[in-house]
Amino acid sequence: MTDAILVVNAGSSSLKFALYPETSNPTAALLRGKIAGIGSRCVFSARDGEGRALSPSEGMSVDAGAALDDLIPTLLEWLKNHRGGVNILAAGHRVVHGGRHHTGPARVTEALLDELTTLEPLAPLHQVHNVKAIRAVAAALPGLPQVACFDTSFHRTQDRLAQLFALPRALTDAGIIRYGFHGLSYDYIASTLPHHLGARADGRVIVAHLGNGASMCAMQARRSVATSMGFTALDGLMMGQRCGTIDPGVLLHLLDCLGMTTQEVGHLLYETSGLLGVSGISNDMAILQSSPAVEAREAIELFCYRAAGELAMLAAAIKGLDTIVFTAGIGEHSALVRRLICQQLEWMGVALDTDANERDAVRISSAASSVDVLVIPTDEEIVMAGATHRLTTGVHAPFPSHGASHP
Ligand code: ADP
């Protein structure tokens, strides 16, 4: 029987999970898996600690039409019997929104769940599923200690100015501020910086988390100083299906002159804009890169042009730049995107080693570059596993091992 910490990332159509050894300082997962296609056609996949796919006979059988509420008890039952048995000691959940007061992860209580439910309108695509997953685990394993790990909390170190919109004070007081997201990813990258940069880790760093959702975070002393996402995960960079920063007058025009409903505008902003909208082909960067269509190329170029502009704006918040870190699916794997963004930043002293960039090497800046450019794979799950261990055992060992993390 293996003692383990379960980590859960529940989204609108997928449920990602991982098991970690019960230690304050896990370095690798025992098991990682995903149920994709929830709500349409569920597909289960999982890999063991060595990255080997489980054989079909070892996998979990899922009802194709199952909803999140049904999948969680089935998953927990399957985990309990996995390879000699797993004893789940605690569960950590990714929760997109922690509001303005949570500066770190929090133990789940009924009061916390009520508070997180009130934040659902602020993250309509994610929060409801995050809360539902916590409740489903609580129902299946009553009394299991659970921890909520927030995507917003890493940014609560920002100065007030970086969190303000230029709106009337009453709206600021009512919570309409820039929260920022992708905090678990930034927390992980911040924890790895001393390993890669030594003393420069505490300098001026911009992390570009470029996945299907994309944002950037400017850090100093490995703490968030400013970030590109704001009140919601719609702001900032162009993304797979989201347009990012847009003149708010466009939204008024769509509503008032083109007669769109708020639901239609919401769908446009969250689902049909960004790479998908501009290319008319796909939200997937890898597909666009292999397409000969001029629209695909234009979408990639706009993505990079906008990313370079956002990065320059964030550099102003930290008054210069020592290091750029690329991470997440596009940041880790697209040499083309990294090259186009860095070319746009040559005036800042950024110079790429093109061979290293093509190889997805860790350090992709040339010796002549005055800015270090790194590629570091992110690991949001390991941050959640460490936080869950800390909050359920009270053991405050440095985590992960390669550097102290955000408290
Ligand atoms: P999510 O935000 O859903 O977690 P990911 O971090 O997995 O997203 O990133 C998904 C994006 O990464 C997709 O646009 C995908 O095309 C892109 N990507 C993954 N591998 C490559 C690659 N080899 N070349 C270009 N893009 C890639």
pLDDT of residue 400: 47
pTM of the model: 0.93
Residues 207, 143, single domain; the answer is no
CATH code for position 238: 3.30.420.40
Question: Does residue 142 lie in a domain region?
Answer: yes
pLDDT of residue 363: 98
Letter string b/e over residues 346-355, b meaning 16 or more CB atoms within 10 A of that residue's CB: eebebbbbee
Sheet holding 2-10, edge to edge: 43-48, 31-36, 15-21, 2-10, 86-95, 146-150, 106-107
Residues 118, 218, single domain; the answer is no
Residues 357, 235, single domain; the answer is yes
Question: Does residue 402 lie in a domain region?
Answer: no
Q: State which residues form the domain around 296.
A: 197-375
The residues annotated as belonging to the active site are 151
Q: Which residues of the chain have pLDDT under 70?
A: 24, 396-407
332 lines ligand 1 (CB under 6 A): no
Question: Does residue 174 lie in a domain region?
Answer: no
Rounded to the nearest angstrom, the distance between the alpha carbon of 357 and the centre of ligand 1 is 16
Residues 239, 282, single domain; the answer is yes
Distance between CA atoms of residues 282 and 279, nearest Å? 7
334 lines ligand 1 (CB under 6 A): yes
pLDDT of residue 397: 55
Residues 49, 132, single domain; the answer is yes
Judged on CB neighbours under 10 Å (0-12, 13-18, 19+), 236 is: buried
Is 87 annotated to bind a ligand? Reply is no
Structure tokens at 212: 């299907």
Rounded to the nearest angstrom, the distance between the alpha carbon of 199 and the centre of ligand 1 is 31
Mutate to test the pocket of ligand 1, among 334, 336, 338 (most ligand atoms within 8 A of CB): 334
